[in-house]
Amino acid sequence: MTDDILEIYNSVKVSIDEANSQSDLDEIRVSMLGRKGLITDKLKGMSLITDLEEKKLLGKSINEVKNFIEEQLSSKRSAFSEKDFLESLKKTHVDITLPGRQPSVGAINILTQVEEEIVSIFNSIGFGVAEGFELDDDYHNFEALNIPYYHPARDSHDTFYVSDNRLIRTHTSGMQIRLMKDIKPPIAAISPGKVGRRDAIDAKHSPVFHQVEGFLVDKNVSFNDLKGILELFCQRIFGSRTQIRLRPDFFPFVEPGADLSATCVVCKGVGCKTCGYEGWIELMGAGMIHPNVFEHVGYDPKVYSGLAFGMGVERIAMLKYGITDIRMFYENDISFLKQW
Ligand code: FA5
């Protein structure tokens, strides 16, 4: 190492040892390795040396000093970073005794809760559960339920077709057909699920809503059984004082058919805004399964008889909790949803 290179080495070593901050190190780097730095100068000056041996030795010693400076700067820099970090920790005081923030906990949606309650009531009296498909075909949604293509009842079930033959099911009744085709009587089942219709939205109607279908087929099933089962269901879900009312109604897949209303839980039958001052709220369609439906599934209508019903889950929830507008279920207003 030549004298001047040795001198540079000694002085830079002292400067790095004495450096107290990242900016001291920056200064050393610029003064040594920057564009006009001492080491850079020395490297440039080598082009003037003609003696090859001398050039080689000088180049080697300049590079040794250059590497030394780079290594020292880098290790000192890491030491400073760690020191800075520890000092910043001391400044930002963390109080580990503060209680943690409570994460907000979700809850099961009110409609799911009501659907589960409906299912468990029917489970307790021997009905099995089968979920169907939200998209169904024309045959299961209409044809096999005694609603041929020309039947006016299709108008009230106007829906969303995804192709000529596939549609968003308009009710859960199609599950009667699928289950009866698979299982021989006696059979008692319910089928909950989502359905869709081209209904205009108002306080009691939504184009997407939920239904629970139920049916029972055996020998000697009577309208009395239907009434008894539905009365028991309404009293379990709304309270033991609830009365039911069955009035004749038409559904092509039952004969006779009825609609079932229950006494309004808000006014106990006296009449109020919730029930439109009638004292009753309509909850479901029901009836005795039509012989034509039995023909479609291969059951002998002379041997078997059956009852069926289909209720709207939203309507049950509205009646149970005094909710006056169906739209509240879908608005995702947390203050509404977290009540349950
Ligand atoms: C039917 O859907 C029949 N499949 C029910 C049935 C099953 C009858 C078995 C006989 C035997 P309906 O269109 O009335 O019937 O609908 C049944 C229930 O779904 C209604 O009582 C109501 O509670 C609910 N509902 C009907 N349309 C809507 C709607 N747009 N929004 C919310 N709930 C509705």
pLDDT at residue 3, as a whole number: 82
d(CA 167, CA 159): 7
Cβ 312 under 6 angstroms from ligand 1:
yes
| pLDDT tens-digit series, residues 138-176 | 999 999 999 988 887 777 777 888 998 999 999 999 999
pLDDT over 90 (residue 276): no
CATH fold label, 110-337: BirA Bifunctional Protein; domain 2 (3.30.930)
User: Looking at residues 257-280, what average pLDDT do you find?
Assistant: 87
Atom of ligand 1 nearest to the CA of 257: 10
Cβ 136 under 6 angstroms from ligand 1:
no
Beta bridge partners of 59: none
For the chain, strand residue ranges (E) read: 128-129, 135-137, 166-168, 187-196, 208-218, 244-249, 254-263, 280-289, 305-312
Q: Name the band, by pLDDT with cuts 50, 70 and 90, for residue 86.
A: confident
Contact, 204 vs 319, CB < 8 A? no
Distance 186 CA to ligand 1 centre (A): 25
Q: Highest-confidence range of 7-21, 64-78, 118-132, 143-157, by mean pLDDT?
A: 118-132
Distance 153 CA to ligand 1 centre (A): 13
pLDDT over 90 (residue 222): yes
φ, ψ of residue 123 in degrees (nearest 5): -55, -40
Give the closest residue (by CA) to ligand 1 atom 25: 312
Share of the chain above pLDDT 70, in %: 100
Tell me the domain boundaries of the chain: 3-92, 110-337
Distance 310 CA to ligand 1 centre (A): 6
Atom of ligand 1 nearest to the CA of 309: 9
From 169, 198, 209, 249, mutation site for ligand 1 pocket: most ligand atoms within 8 A of C-beta:
209
Cβ 318 under 6 angstroms from ligand 1:
no
Give the closest residue (by CA) to ligand 1 atom 9: 309
Q: Name the band, by pLDDT with cuts 50, 70 and 90, for residue 265.
A: confident
Contact, 107 vs 140, CB < 8 A? no
| pLDDT tens-digit series, residues 41-61 | 988 888 888 888 888 988 899
**What pTM, to 2 d.p., does this model score?**
0.73
pLDDT over 90 (residue 136): yes
- Ranges 52-56, 123-127, 248-252: which has the least confidence: 52-56
pLDDT at residue 95, as a whole number: 80
> Strand pairing of 128-129 and 187-196?
parallel
Distance 31 CA to ligand 1 centre (A): 87
pLDDT over 80 (residue 249): yes
Atom of ligand 1 nearest to the CA of 284: 21
| pLDDT tens-digit series, residues 277-332 | 899 988 999 999 999 999 999 999 999 999 999 999 999 999 899 888 999 999 99
pLDDT at residue 269, as a whole number: 87
Distance 210 CA to ligand 1 centre (A): 9
Give the closest residue (by CA) to ligand 1 atom 20: 284
Q: Which residue has the higher pLDDT, 156 or 207?
A: 207
pLDDT at residue 194, as a whole number: 96
φ, ψ of residue 272 in degrees (nearest 5): -155, 180
Q: Name the band, by pLDDT with cuts 50, 70 and 90, for residue 197.
A: very high
Distance 299 CA to ligand 1 centre (A): 25
From 111, 315, 320, 330, mutation site for ligand 1 pocket: most ligand atoms within 8 A of C-beta:
315
Q: Name the band, by pLDDT with cuts 50, 70 and 90, for residue 125.
A: very high
Mean pLDDT across the chain: 92
User: In b/e form, how buried is each residue of 72-103, taking b as 16+ CB within 10 angstroms?
Assistant: bbeebeeebeeeeeeeeeeeeeeeeeeeeeee
**Residue 319 structure tokens:** 């009646």
pLDDT over 90 (residue 85): no
**SS3 of residue 289 by DSSP:** strand
pLDDT at residue 294, as a whole number: 98
User: Looking at residues 220-242, what average pLDDT do you find?
Assistant: 96
For 148-233, strand residue ranges (E) read: 166-168, 187-196, 208-218
pLDDT at residue 170, as a whole number: 95
pLDDT at residue 157, as a whole number: 72
